[in-house]
């Protein structure tokens, strides 16, 4: 970005030949400021008003810690599951032909288009002890709803489209030449997959994981129905924040929000670093 | 400059009519190459596994919505929808969508154009900002508006002095929804703009086209399907937003309840049929969104198959 | 409408070398001026600056004596033909051609007449209602020409217009362009990396390499009197032999060649000679006078290329030289592979490092 500023500072610099730069820039900045930057600034301001002691007490209370464990831990697990499932689904969609392939491709976006609350009650209906699958599992001693298992399940649901759509386009662009070269050199399909294809898919897989993780950590509507919301057991961080808000404890809610944002930021950073490291090794853009 | 009419006799060459259609850049899928297909049993088990996963995770909940909604029959279903509170919620949701979607569309197109067509300092920052609502929990999205406009918020004093209610009223809902859904149009339009390239716009520019003419007659037709899908998706999310609206609305029944909030209320009151009936409305919207996406893909794909790059 | 490019400089990044550096040339009115060079030589950038699609960091462009640097793209009134055609895919051929006229807000019947005229010119009369996606590459580029010419531009800019086409179509369109130009005498600036195209079409050639202009001249000048080794080897084929100056002469292979006076001993030189400018004869032929300009060697490979025969020679000094011998002469000589021969390098041009003859 320093280079860009450098270039822009030269006399006679233009951002490009097409007209419309000033109006679009102006409008975009205005809208962004009103709808995004200003409210975020409010968050920063408010949290700055907290005393350090109160802040620390809130964010390290046992209830908060339990919530972190559930939100972040569950999201990690769900992200992992989604990455594997995303790979499987992309592979099947891109490489194979079967009846109903178009429908399958469309259905994958359902968690994106479906309201989170609807997803929440639907998942609960299925996995509660009274539900179809829930009842079946109950009889075998496995409880899904109102436990962390249900939380992870809901997280997998919301993260699925991200995991699939990160890998799918990359897989489509991957021509068959590499695999053909491997085949001619005597590699089995499995070896080709593990040694040739998978490494190339590492960056988009990582991206998909990061997106699914970020979604899962912040998710509210899909989870609060199936989780049962028991403090210290099945309470996710967003719910804790809402509870604090309903009790008008704005300071505490803000403190927790800051922790969440910090956590997301750290994750995003870590993933970006991993991507950069991966790029250096594979020499890819 | 001599009129071209005088040129008539000269360049009458028998130009070769290589009338074969332009070579399609056939994206050879591995499916077209038998050597790469792998054994049949592997293929079938992978497909079966994928489909089973999908059925369990996605199709089952989808079916559950309609099964539960219609459990007590069609009559009960319709009655649940016609409840006055539900109708009020539907009206509020529609109003919100009507306000949010056009605004976010204009912003999305402007931002996508800005990013795709120009190079300027801060471009990367802009791209990150656009992705922001995706990484922020919806609850936090609602929280920040409460912090800004709530009675204890930064602007709270000023607002109550002027008797303006934002939080716990419709404007707050609209703002929070706008925040959460603003990336959708931009994210769909941007790749379409980038893929389409600049050559046609530059040609139009040299031919004397002004900015608006360029946009409406050259760019827009190229990206219209991506734009349509972005709008539809933004709409689906705007209608279905739950977390952010939940924080900002105050849950005042009949006044500041949107459809998703109404679903929650009915569910918590154990009115399952009612809850799922209302939920089914949004599910239908979601399904319609997916259908439009498929149609859009087909049309956009038809264009690129004609080799128009 | 002559075009003058003065001291044009452009960089795309502060770290790498400039894409165009102090380019100076004039495109004469009514002629075809070709910017010729390899990929990355900056020729397309110069064209785009003239069109107004890029802005130069320094320097200016004058058209008919007027500085057009502050004039926006839309107002320049030039025609531009793209390598990738850049046709409006969702408009018919007719609508594509009419686009420039529409922006000028010409009355409808005038537009229709003009479009018909141009479709006839590019021989696409029956195709007016088709879409670009339904046309072949050659047809699409013809639409590209029609579209650029419709609004009567005062300058025609061609960015590798035939680069994306099959060889046969390329040759035919090249001939078509030449005839078109003869009829219209529209000042044209052509960018290409195809030297044959440049030699065939141009009135003036500007040879570029790595952002700098190497030589400006007529095709004949460029070919016969290249002013730098790059130009000599880029246009036509060339043998390049290296050597050093000693005792006041350039010692290249086994030859002593002239250099400008006062060239210090030890300076590196390069001798460039075209394969068909080398005379070859059998060694030990009696007439074989070993002179300052004659070298001895052995034929290592012979290939029959139809109109001429290509001989790869290994000189006694180890240098490799390629000779093209016309068929008739070859038959007369009756050479075989492995034979010892003498080559006369009389027409070699010597280039001293950093300095041209």
Question: Per-residue pLDDT tens for A95-135?
Answer: 888 888 888 998 999 998 899 999 999 999 888 888 778 88
Contact A245 B121 (CB under 8 A): no
- What pLDDT score does C290 carry? 56
Contact C55 A14 (CB under 8 A): yes
Residue B111: list chain A partners with CB under 8 A.
24, 28
Closest CA to C30 of C223, C150, C183: C183
Q: Would you place residue A175 in the very low, low, confident or very high pLDDT band (cuts 50, 70, 90)?
A: confident
CA–CA separation, C337 vs A226, rounded Å?
88
Highest mean pLDDT out of A159-168, A181-190, C247-256:
A159-168
**Across B144-166, average pLDDT:** 78
Look at residue C20 and give its three-state secondary structure: strand
Residues in Cβ contact with A97 at an 8 Å cutoff, skipping those fewer than 6 apart: B31
Residue B222: list chain C partners with CB under 8 A.
89-90
pLDDT of residue C211 exceeding 50, the answer is yes
Say whether residue C182 is in contact with chain B using an 8 A CB cutoff. Answer: yes
Decide which of 2.40.30.130, 3.40.50.720, 1.10.10.10, 1.10.3720.10 is the CATH code for A66-282. 1.10.3720.10
pLDDT in tens, C286-341: 555 556 677 888 888 989 888 888 888 888 888 888 888 888 888 888 788 888 88
Contact A5 B121 (CB under 8 A): yes
Contact C88 B204 (CB under 8 A): yes
Residue A7: list chain C partners with CB under 8 A.
13-14
- What pLDDT score does B2 carry? 33
Task: Return the number of CB contacts < 8 Å for A and B.
Answer: 301
Q: Would you place residue B307 in the very low, low, confident or very high pLDDT band (cuts 50, 70, 90)?
A: very low
Nearest by CB to B10, from C76, C173, C182: name it: C182
Cα angle C113, C118, C119; round to 5 = 100
**Across A46-70, average pLDDT:** 80
Report the neighbours of C using a cutoff of 3 or more CB pairs below 8 angstroms.
Answer: A, B
Return the structure tokens found at C212: 């700098």
Mutate to test the interface with C, among A15, A17, A22 (most CBs of C within 10 A): A17
Highest mean pLDDT out of A150-159, A185-194, B67-76:
A150-159
**Nearest chain A CA: its distance from B12 CA (Å):** 37
pLDDT of residue B103 exceeding 90, the answer is yes
Terminal Cα-to-Cα distance of chain C (whole angstroms): 33
Alpha carbon of C151 to those of B206, C97, C99, C109, C142: distances in Å? 11, 9, 9, 14, 15
- What pLDDT score does A179 carry? 77
Sheet holding C20-27, edge to edge: C20-27, C3-10, C58-63, C66-67
Interface of B with A in 69-98 (CB under 8 A): none
- What pLDDT score does C50 carry? 94
Using the structure block, give the residue that is written with the tokens 């046709």: C87
Contact A180 B35 (CB under 8 A): yes
Q: Name the CA radius of gyration of chain C, rounded.
A: 25
pLDDT in tens, A37-47: 777 777 777 77
In sequence order, the β-bridge partners of residue C326 are C308
Q: Would you place residue A137 in the very low, low, confident or very high pLDDT band (cuts 50, 70, 90)?
A: confident
Contact B17 C75 (CB under 8 A): no
The residue that leads in pLDDT, B306 or C290, is C290
Residue C13: list chain A partners with CB under 8 A.
3, 7
Nearest by CB to B4, from C104, C121, C179: name it: C121
CA–CA separation, C116 vs C128, rounded Å?
9
- What pLDDT score does B304 carry? 52
Q: Would you place residue A189 in the very low, low, confident or very high pLDDT band (cuts 50, 70, 90)?
A: confident
Nearest by CB to A95, from B29, B179, B267: name it: B29
pLDDT in tens, B236-290: 999 999 999 988 887 666 678 899 999 998 998 888 888 999 999 999 999 999 9
CA–CA separation, A46 vs B178, rounded Å?
22
Q: Where are the alpha helices (DSSP H) in chain C?
A: 43-51, 93-103, 108-121, 137-149, 167-184, 195-201, 219-224, 229-234, 327-333
pLDDT of residue B6 exceeding 60, the answer is no
pLDDT of residue B101 exceeding 90, the answer is yes
**Nearest chain B CA: its distance from A59 CA (Å):** 16
Interface of B with A in 232-271 (CB under 8 A): 233, 236-237, 239-243, 246-247, 259-261, 263-264, 267
Residue C54: list chain A partners with CB under 8 A.
17
CB–CB of A130/B303 below 8 Å? no
- Mean pLDDT rounded to a whole number for chain C: 87
CA–CA separation, B56 vs B60, rounded Å?
5
Contact B136 A218 (CB under 8 A): yes
Provide residues of C within 8 Å CB-CB of chain A: 13-15, 52-57, 73
**Across A161-174, average pLDDT:** 87
Q: What is the DSSP letter of A19?
A: S
CA–CA separation, C5 vs B162, rounded Å?
64
Nearest by CB to B31, from A97, A218, A248: name it: A97
**Nearest chain C CA: its distance from A178 CA (Å):** 27
The yes or no reply on domain C239-352 and CATH 1.10.8.60 is: no
Mutate to test the interface with B, among C77, C145, C184 (most CBs of B within 10 A): C184
Mutate to test the interface with A, among C7, C8, C10, C14 (most CBs of A within 10 A): C14
pLDDT in tens, A256-277: 888 888 887 787 777 777 777 7
- What pLDDT score does A10 carry? 53
Which helix (H) or strand (E) segment is C225 a member of? none
**Nearest chain A CA: its distance from B164 CA (Å):** 17
**Nearest chain B CA: its distance from A28 CA (Å):** 6
Contact B8 C73 (CB under 8 A): no
Return the structure tokens found at B72: 């007590």
Say whether residue A27 is in contact with chain B using an 8 A CB cutoff. Answer: yes
Nearest by CB to B208, from C149, C151, C172: name it: C151
CA–CA separation, B295 vs B302, rounded Å?
11
Contact C54 A17 (CB under 8 A): yes
pLDDT of residue C106 exceeding 50, the answer is yes
CA–CA separation, B275 vs B269, rounded Å?
9
Do the bridges between strand C32-36 and strand C204-209 make them parallel or antiparallel, or are there none, so unpaired? parallel
Look at residue C165 and give its three-state secondary structure: coil
Q: Do domains C3-234 and C239-352 have the same CATH topology?
A: no
Which helix (H) or strand (E) segment is C34 a member of? strand C32-36
Which DSSP string corresponds to B214-267?
IIIIIIHHHHHHHHHHHHHHHHHHHHH--HHHHHHHTT-TTTS--HHHHHHHHH
Q: Read off φ and ψ for residue C243, nearest 5 degrees.
A: -165, -165
Say whether residue C208 is in contact with chain B using an 8 A CB cutoff. Answer: no
Interface of A with B in 132-151 (CB under 8 A): 132-133
> What is the CB-side half-sphere exposure of residue A99 using CA atoms within 13 A?
0
pLDDT in tens, B125-141: 788 778 778 778 899 88
- What pLDDT score does B43 carry? 85
Provide residues of A within 8 Å CB-CB of chain C: 3, 6-7, 10, 12-14, 17
**Nearest chain C CA: its distance from B213 CA (Å):** 9
Among chain C residues, CA nearest to A3? C14
Contact B119 A4 (CB under 8 A): yes
Contact A110 B47 (CB under 8 A): no
- Estimate to the nearest angstrom the gap between the alpha carbon of A183 and the chain centroid: 36
Among chain C residues, CA nearest to B221? C90
pLDDT of residue B25 exceeding 50, the answer is no
Residue C136: list chain B partners with CB under 8 A.
17-22
Residues in Cβ contact with C164 at an 8 Å cutoff, skipping those fewer than 6 apart: C83, C84, C85, C137, C141
Above pLDDT 90, what percent of chain C? 46
CA–CA separation, C46 vs B20, rounded Å?
35
CA–CA separation, B112 vs B190, rounded Å?
5
Look at residue C135 and give its three-state secondary structure: coil
**Across C94-106, average pLDDT:** 88
| Domain spans in chain C, listed from the N-terminal domain onward | 3-234, 239-352
pLDDT of residue B96 exceeding 50, the answer is yes
Cα angle A106, A111, A112; round to 5 = 85
Do the bridges between strand C239-246 and strand C255-257 make them parallel or antiparallel, or are there none, so unpaired? unpaired
- Mean pLDDT rounded to a whole number for chain A: 82
pLDDT in tens, B193-209: 988 888 899 999 999 88
Nearest by CB to A36, from B68, B179, B205: name it: B179
Fold for the domain defined by C3-234: Rossmann fold (3.40.50)
Say whether residue B66 is in contact with chain A using an 8 A CB cutoff. Answer: no
Say whether residue C138 is in contact with chain B using an 8 A CB cutoff. Answer: yes
Residue A271: list chain B partners with CB under 8 A.
none
Using the structure block, give the residue that is written with the tokens 């019947």: C109
Q: Would you place residue B20 in the very low, low, confident or very high pLDDT band (cuts 50, 70, 90)?
A: very low
Closest CA to C47 of C159, C140, C141, C139: C159
- What pLDDT score does B254 carry? 65
**Across C243-257, average pLDDT:** 80
């Amino acid at each position: 970005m320093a280079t860009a500023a450098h270039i822009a500072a030269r006399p006679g610099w233009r951002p490009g030949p097409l007209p419309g730069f000033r109006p679009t820039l102006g409008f975009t900045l205005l809208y962004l400021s009103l709808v995004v930057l200003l409210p975020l600034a409010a968050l920063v301001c408010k949290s700055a008003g907290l005393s350090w002691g109160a802040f620390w007490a809130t964010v390290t209370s046992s209830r908060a810690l339990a919530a972190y464990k559930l939100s972040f831990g569950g999201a990690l697990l769900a992200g992992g599951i989604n990455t594997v499932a995303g790979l499987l689904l992309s592979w099947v969609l891109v490489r194979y032909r079967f009846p109903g392939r178009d429908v399958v491709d469309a259905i994958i976006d359902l968690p994106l288009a479906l309201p989170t609350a609807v997803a929440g009650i639907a998942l609960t209906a299925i996995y509660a002890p009274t539900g179809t699958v829930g009842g079946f599992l109950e009889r075998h001693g496995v409880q899904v709803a109102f436990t962390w298992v249900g939380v992870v399940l809901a997280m997998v649901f919301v993260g699925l489209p991200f995991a699939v759509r990160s890998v799918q386009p990359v897989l489509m662009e991957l021509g068959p030449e590499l695999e053909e070269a491997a085949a001619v050199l005597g590699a089995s399909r499995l070896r080709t997959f593990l040694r040739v294809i998978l490494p190339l898919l590492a960056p988009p897989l990582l991206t998909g994981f990061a997106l699914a993780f970020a979604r899962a950590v912040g998710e509210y509507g899909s989870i609060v129905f199936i989780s049962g919301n028991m403090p210290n057991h099945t309470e996710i961080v967003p719910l804790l924040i809402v509870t604090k808000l309903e009790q008008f404890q704005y300071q505490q809610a803000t403190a927790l929000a800051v922790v969440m944002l910090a956590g997301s930021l750290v994750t995003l950073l870590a993933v970006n670093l991993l991507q950069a490291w991966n790029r250096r090794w594979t020499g890819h853009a | 400059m001599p009129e071209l009419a005088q040129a008539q006799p000269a360049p009458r060459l028998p130009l070769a009519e290589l009338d074969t259609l332009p070579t399609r850049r056939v994206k050879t899928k591995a499916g077209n190459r038998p050597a790469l297909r792998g054994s049949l049993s592997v293929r079938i088990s992978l497909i079966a596994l994928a489909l089973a996963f999908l059925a369990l995770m996605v199709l089952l909940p989808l079916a559950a919505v309609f099964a539960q909604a219609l459990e007590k029959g069609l009559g009960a279903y319709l009655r649940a929808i016609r409840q006055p509170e539900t109708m009020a919620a539907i009206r509020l949701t529609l109003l919100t969508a009507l306000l949010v979607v056009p605004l976010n569309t204009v912003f999305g197109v402007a931002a996508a154009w800005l990013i795709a067509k120009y190079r300027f300092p801060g471009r990367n920052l802009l791209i990150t900002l656009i992705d922001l609502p995706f990484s922020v929990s919806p609850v936090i999205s609602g929280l920040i508006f409460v912090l800004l406009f709530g009675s204890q918020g930064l602007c709270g004093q000023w607002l109550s002095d002027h008797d303006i209610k934002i939080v716990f009223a419709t404007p707050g809902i609209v703002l929070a929804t706008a925040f959460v859904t603003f990336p959708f149009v931009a994210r769909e339009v941007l790749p379409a703009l980038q893929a389409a390239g600049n050559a046609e716009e530059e040609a139009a520019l040299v031919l004397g086209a002004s900015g608006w003419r360029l946009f409406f007659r050259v760019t827009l037709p190229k990206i219209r399907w991506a734009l349509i899908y972005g709008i539809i998706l933004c709409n689906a999310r705007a209608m279905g937003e739950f977390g952010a609206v939940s924080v900002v609305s105050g849950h005042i029944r009949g006044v500041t309840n949107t459809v998703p909030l109404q679903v929650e209320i009915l569910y918590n009151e154990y009115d399952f049929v009612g809850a799922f009936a209302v939920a089914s409305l949004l599910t239908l919207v979601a399904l319609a969104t997916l259908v439009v996406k498929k149609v859009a893909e087909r049309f956009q794909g038809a264009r690129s198959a004609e080799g128009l790059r | 409408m002559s075009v003058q490019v003065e001291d044009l400089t452009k960089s795309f990044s502060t770290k790498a070398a400039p894409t165009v550096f102090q380019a100076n040339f004039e495109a004469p009115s009514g002629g075809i001026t070709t910017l010729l060079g390899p990929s990355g030589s900056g020729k397309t950038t110069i064209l785009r600056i003239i069109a107004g699609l890029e802005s130069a960091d320094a320097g200016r462009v004058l058209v008919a004596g007027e500085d057009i640097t502050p004039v926006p793209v839309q107002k320049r009134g030039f025609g531009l033909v793209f390598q990738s055609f850049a046709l409006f895919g969702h408009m018919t051929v007719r609508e594509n051609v009419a686009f420039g006229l529409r922006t000028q807000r010409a009355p409808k019947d005038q537009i229709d007449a003009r479009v018909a005229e141009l479709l006839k010119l590019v021989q696409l009369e029956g195709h007016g209602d088709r879409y670009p996606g339904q046309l072949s590459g050659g047809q699409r580029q013809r639409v590209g020409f029609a579209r650029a010419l419709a609004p009567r531009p005062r300058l025609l800019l061609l960015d590798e217009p035939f680069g994306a086409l099959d060889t046969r179509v390329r040759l035919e369109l090249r001939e078509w362009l030449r005839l078109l130009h003869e009829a219209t005498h529209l000042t044209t600036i052509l960018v290409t990396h195809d030297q044959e195209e440049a030699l065939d079409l141009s009135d003036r050639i500007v040879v570029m390499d790595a952002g700098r202009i190497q030589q400006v001249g007529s095709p004949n000048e460029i070919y016969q009197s290249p002013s730098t080794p790059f130009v000599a080897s880029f246009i036509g084929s060339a043998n390049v032999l290296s050597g050093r100056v000693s005792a006041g002469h350039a010692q290249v292979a086994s030859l002593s060649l002239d250099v400008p006076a006062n060239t210090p001993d030890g300076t590196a030189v390069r001798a460039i000679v075209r394969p068909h400018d080398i005379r070859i004869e059998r060694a030990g032929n009696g007439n074989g006078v070993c002179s300052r300009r004659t070298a001895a060697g052995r034929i290592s490979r012979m290939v029959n290329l139809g109109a001429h025969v290509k001989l790869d020679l290994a000189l006694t000094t180890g240098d490799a030289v390629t000779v093209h011998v016309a068929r008739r002469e070859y038959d007369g000589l009756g050479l075989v592979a492995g034979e010892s021969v003498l080559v006369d390098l009389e027409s070699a041009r010597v280039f001293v490092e950093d300095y041209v003859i």
